[in-house]
Amino acid sequence: MTAHPNLPPEIAKHYFQSIVGPTGPHQRREKAATGGGQTLDSRIVADWYSGQTIGARGMVCVDYTGALLWDAIGFAKPRGVPDTEAGRWAVAPF
């Protein structure tokens, strides 16, 4: 689903359940196509970026510091996680 080599199965399961939802993948696609709910692509991006998803009882933090987008963009880090390259901000871009 994500091609992330180190994605723990329990975290992948949370993301997948958010995408599929309780109605199943086919009904979810039909609902999104008719404008009856958040589109599938925006749900995937929101989950991937934030490390959070929507569960049966509301917002669930799946893995904020391990959110998949931190690896995808490479230059950003989640707040509160120390930068391994101190002073990197002072180096001119190349």
Angstrom distance (rounded) from CA 60 to CA 26: 24
Q: Which residue has the tokens 């994500």?
A: 2
pLDDT in tens, 43-62: 777 888 788 888 778 888 88
pLDDT confidence tier of residue 26, bands split at 50, 70 and 90? low
Cβ–Cβ under 8 Å, residues 14 and 67: no
Residue from 83, 51, 71, 70 nearest 5 by CA: 71
Does 28 score more than 60 pLDDT? no
Does 13 score more than 80 pLDDT? yes
What would the DSSP string read from start to end of 44-73?
Answer: HHHHHHHSEEEETTEEEES-STT-HHHHHH
How much is the average pLDDT of 65-72? 79
Q: What is the pLDDT of residue 6?
A: 74
User: In sequence order, what are the beta bridge partners of 42?
Assistant: none
